Amino acid sequence: MRQRRRAGTCRARWWSAAVLGVGGLALAGCAVGPRYSRVPAPTPAEYKEMPPHWKTAQPSDQISKGKWWELYQDASLNTLEDRISVSNQTLKSTQAQFEQARALVRQTRSSYYPTITAGVSATRNHESVHRPFGNLSSSNTYTDLVLPVDASYEVDVWGRVRRTVEAARANAQASAADVESVSLSLHAELAFDYFQVHTLDAEAQLLDSTVVAYAKALELTQNRYAGGIASQVDVAQAQTQLETTRAQAIDVRVQRAQFEHAIAVLVGQPASTFSLPTEPLANIPPVIPVGLPSDLLERRPDIASSERQMAQANALIGVAKAAYYPTITLSASGGFEGSTISNWFSGPSGFILGSASAVVTAFDAGRRRAVNDQAKSFYDQTVANYRQSVLAAFQDVEDDLAALRILEEEAQTQQAAVASAEHSLTLSNNRYKGGVATYLEVILAQSTALNDERTAVEIAGRRMGASVLLIKAIGGGWTTAKLPIVENQSPQQPAGQ
């Protein structure tokens, strides 16, 4: 019993010394490689295409919550948008990728701690009596029972583990930003398709009402022909105009069906079981709280993803540099070994072994230098990608601001054209009924009026679509503050890493 207690005391002292040594080395260690800081990106002071009456717009509660589609005050749209987060399979796939990245962080963080293995083995040996140096007087059969516990730990003196964890954490945050980017794109695509469906409903309603008007015009022309006032050519022209418009009304419904099917896929429902009620577009674009250009760097998830990829590449440079320094490993092994079960766990059967090693690569024919150069080049690539994503983001905002501004002017001008075309059609009808003009004049006036009215409907749909794309361009209310921490930092991690 005294021997067992003495052995336990020795093991405790050994482990205490080992833990203190590991702690001292870890605290004294430094993470090699450059410290990360976000590179500057070209940011304008203000948007060039910002409409003057939008400069005082303040972010609304809907934008701050991320449910930007509530700005349109459409209950049906709100219901469909909420279904994306639950049922869209593309979004689920991206979320699964994020979970993989987060698991990788936990995997790399495990290197902060020792690896401990345990096992048990029982061996029955019978050795040859005629073996070299064999002893004929001793037994050549024996049993070896071993219960070992092995521990190994790489001391992170140069920060290789810390940089690896840093890279994995940045990669996971980039994956989280990708999830938000995909989510934003899917929500924006649904809203865009939704307004396109109702734009086509408005166009179909216009064509249906025009078909009714053209049918009455045909009936009037047929009556005039029967009375000998109009010619058969007038009847044929009226009939042609009517059937052409009917064909256009049918074609519009083909496009509507395709957009409806696209919405079904977005909400995770078979297209054959999904339908939207017919409802002509009556909305006008809401005022979008765009904010300052400098805010865009924090509000676009794709920019956040590019920035986190840049941080990951910076950490990988540290991992590559750590290969130039020795790898310091502490190992320990202990347990019990005996020849029988009765003496297996007795004090004298205990054993313990400790070791430390430092290994450095003396020659690798330039492999480490190549890996280091590759890491630096990869970082340069991510920097260029980040700056390009910023430039593309500002382009998106300017494009959509310009589209909204110009389409608003075009809509006003087009309404004037519609009013003029309708007045011209009225005059042509009166002239034809009075026998002053031919029916060809009426047909030309009808075609002009219908084209102007269809253009006005299309402009209204384009304005709604541009407002959706603008919200997408400014990030839809998302900010980098919503990026997950993923895992808490290790106490060994220096501040700012």
| Contacts of 493 by beta carbon, 8 Å cutoff, 6+ apart | 31, 162, 165, 166
Residue with tokens 């049906």: 76
User: Tokens 């450095």 correspond to what residue?
Assistant: 360
Strands 141-155 and 327-338: antiparallel
> What pLDDT does residue 4 have?
41
- The token pair at 494 is 């220096």
Q: Given this model, what pLDDT does residue 63 score?
A: 58
**Pairing of the two strands 121-126 and 141-155:** antiparallel
pLDDT at site 306: 96
pTM for the complete prediction?
Answer: 0.84
The whole-number mean pLDDT for each consecutive block of 10 residues of the chain, a chain of 497 residues, reads 42 45 52 90 84 52 70 94 92 94 94 92 78 63 86 92 94 95 96 97 96 93 89 92 95 95 95 94 86 88 96 96 93 87 78 90 92 96 96 95 94 96 93 87 93 96 96 90 71 36
Q: Structure tokens of 417?
A: 């054209």
* Residue 353 structure tokens: 């072994």
Per residue in 126-163, pLDDT (tens digit) is 776 666 765 655 667 778 888 899 999 999 999 999 99
What is the pLDDT, as a whole number, of residue 66? 75
User: Could you give the C-alpha distances from 52 to 46, 49, 287, 294, 446, in angstroms and in order?
Assistant: 12, 9, 12, 19, 38
N-term to C-term CA, the chain? 51
What lies within 8 Å, CB to CB, of 148 at 6+ separation is 118, 119, 121, 333, 334, 335
pLDDT given at position 7: 42
**What's the CA gap between 324 and 361, in Å, rounded?**
7
Tell which residue, 312, 342, 392, has the closest CA to residue 42: 392
CA distances for 199 relative to 75, 457, 467, angstroms? 17, 7, 14
* Joined tokens for residue 101: 């990245």
Digit-coded pLDDT (tens) for 251-297: 999 999 999 999 999 999 999 999 999 999 988 898 888 888 888 88
pLDDT of amino acid 291: 82
State how far the Cα of 283 lies from the Cα of 298, in Å rounded to an integer: 30
State CA 487 to chain mean position distance.
20
Distance CA 324, CA 399 (A): 49
Domains of the chain (ranges, CATH numbers): 35-114+160-325+369-482 (1.20.1600.10)
Backbone angles phi, psi at 228, to 5 degrees: 80, 15
Between CA 452 and CA 246 the distance in angstroms is 17
Q: How far is CA 306 from CA 367, 377, 392, 404, in A?
A: 28, 16, 12, 28
pLDDT digits (tens, 9 = 90+) for 21-47: 544 454 445 788 899 999 998 888 888
Q: Is 181 left (phi over 0), alpha (psi -120 to 50) or beta?
A: alpha
Length of the chain, in residues:
497
**Confidence (pLDDT) at 260:** 96
Element (H, E) at 332: strand 327-338
Q: How far apart are CA 245 and CA 203, in angstroms?
A: 12
pLDDT at 492: 39
Residue carrying structure tokens 């003495």: 6
Identity at 261, one-letter amino acid code: H
